[in-house]
Amino acid sequence: MQDEQVQNVAPVVSFADEPLILVDSHDQPVGTMTKEAAHQGQGILHRAFSIFVFNPAGDVLLQQRSADKTLWGGFWANSCCSHPRRGEDTGAAAQRRQSEELGLNPTLSYLYKFEYHAQFGDLGAEHELCSVFAGCTAKAPAVNANEIDATIWLSPAELDDALKNEPALYTPWLQFEWPRIRSDYWATIEALLATHN
């Protein structure tokens, strides 16, 4: 297990007024809304993505979300997650965002898509149709301190145990996504890792 601390100077890459793509449950666009508005109350269903970055040893990179974030600030999450902006392809957005947040640019493989809703008290909610991607790199992250407070590499077994034993430390979407990757997509992850060894 390795900790990586964040850099002190970083560009601003998240904006409350950036336009997110509202969708129906079949991922058909139905309009746009600012990021801030889409996460208020119980949230409005919008397009999103999650990325799991592995190293060649098979460890997965987690990030601790900045404590300044309105929703789940300070919680541990998967390597990177965000939203495509109006007119932006989801895969291209995922490639962009991992570079902005992690300073990494591995080729991403699409795994699956799912809809979820998670409420964060009175502060707002995530209601997302989320595409899940995975990539592998031998490089260490150079993280954006505006987005991330810390990162850590965990073995799959360590993450399994952490989610079982201390779920309150982790974001809901990580708790939804990781078990499904382990049960339904692990062969894809192993094939991805094999290309880097």
- Between CA 79 and CA 101 the distance in angstroms is 9
Catalytic one of 100, 101, 126, 128? 128
At residue 17, the 3 state secondary structure works out as: coil
- Between CA 136 and CA 129 the distance in angstroms is 24
Residues 6+ apart with CB under 8 A from 94: 49, 51, 80, 82, 84, 108, 131, 133
For residue 3, with 0-12 CB atoms within 10 Å meaning exposed, 13-18 middle and 19 or more buried, which class applies? Answer: exposed
Catalytic one of 80, 81, 130, 136? 81
Assess whether 81 carries a catalytic annotation: yes
* C-alpha torsion sign, points 55, 128, 24, 184: positive
Q: How far apart are the first and last CA of the chain?
A: 20
- Between CA 31 and CA 169 the distance in angstroms is 34
Residues 6+ apart with CB under 8 A from 129: 23, 25, 27, 45, 46, 47, 48, 113, 114, 115
Assess whether 130 carries a catalytic annotation: no
Residues carrying an active site annotation: 81, 128
